[in-house]
């Protein structure tokens, strides 16, 4: 399945379908969900990163249960916007996951999402243990919200 431009993916979604945001890490995959109006992203949880087929089945189960029709996967570009090995690995993984799950995928720049979420959690005086448990899903929501905001159709 080819990668989609996020604006095109959003436009192709049937009315009332959500998007799933994914923040793939080396051990966990943060998961977020948009609302049906594609205005608000919320943390959903995290999945243990494992075999691609198993992760694809888990993502597809969430999509079916929550009425989601597409995926937005965080793309870890370099701080200068460069496309390095981590970005290539995320792109390859996203394409393979979308193919295995049968869901369209778009990539979105996720630079600083985990840092911003950690900083906000520290400012909220969350303990290190609570931050560790919540940061993956919150980073996925942060990235998905950024994508939704940037591709929101103009009011008119």
Q: What is the mean pLDDT of residues 128-133?
A: 61
Give per-residue pLDDT as tens, 36-83. 999 999 999 999 999 999 999 999 999 999 999 999 999 988 778 788
User: Contact, 117 vs 9, CB < 8 A?
Assistant: no
- Phi and psi at residue 50, in whole multiples of 5°? -145, -145
Q: What's the confidence (pLDDT) of residue 109?
A: 86
What is the CB neighbour count within 10 angstroms for residue 115?
11
pTM for this predicted structure: 0.87
96 has a pLDDT exceeding 90: yes
Q: Is the pLDDT of residue 125 over 70?
A: no
Q: Give the model's pLDDT for residue 82.
A: 82
Q: In this predicted model, which residue has the larger pLDDT, 121 or 90? A: 90
Q: What does the pLDDT read at residue 13?
A: 93
Mean pLDDT (the chain, rounded): 87
Q: How far is CA 143 from the centre of its chain?
A: 6
CB 133 within 8 A of CB 92: no
Contact assessment for residue 21 and residue 72, using Cβ atoms and an 8 Å cutoff: yes
Higher pLDDT, 111 or 140: 140
């Amino acid at each position: 399945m080819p990668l989609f431009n996020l604006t095109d993916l959003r436009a192709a979604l049937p009315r009332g379908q959500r998007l799933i945001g994914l923040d793939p890490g080396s051990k966990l995959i943060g998961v977020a969900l948009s609302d049906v109006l594609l205005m608000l992203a919320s943390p959903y949880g995290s999945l243990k990163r494992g075999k691609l087929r198993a992760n694809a089945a888990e993502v597809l189960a969430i999509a079916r249960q929550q009425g989601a029709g597409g995926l937005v996967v965080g793309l870890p570009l370099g701080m200068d916007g460069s496309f390095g090995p981590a970005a290539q690995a995320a792109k390859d993984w996203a394409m393979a996951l979308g193919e295995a799950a049968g869901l369209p995928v778009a990539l979105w720049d996720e630079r600083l999402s985990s840092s911003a979420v950690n900083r906000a959690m520290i400012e909220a005086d969350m303990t290190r243990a609570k931050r560790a448990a919540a940061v993956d899903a919150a980073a996925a929501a942060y990235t998905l919200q950024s994508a939704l905001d940037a591709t929101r159709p103009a009011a008119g």
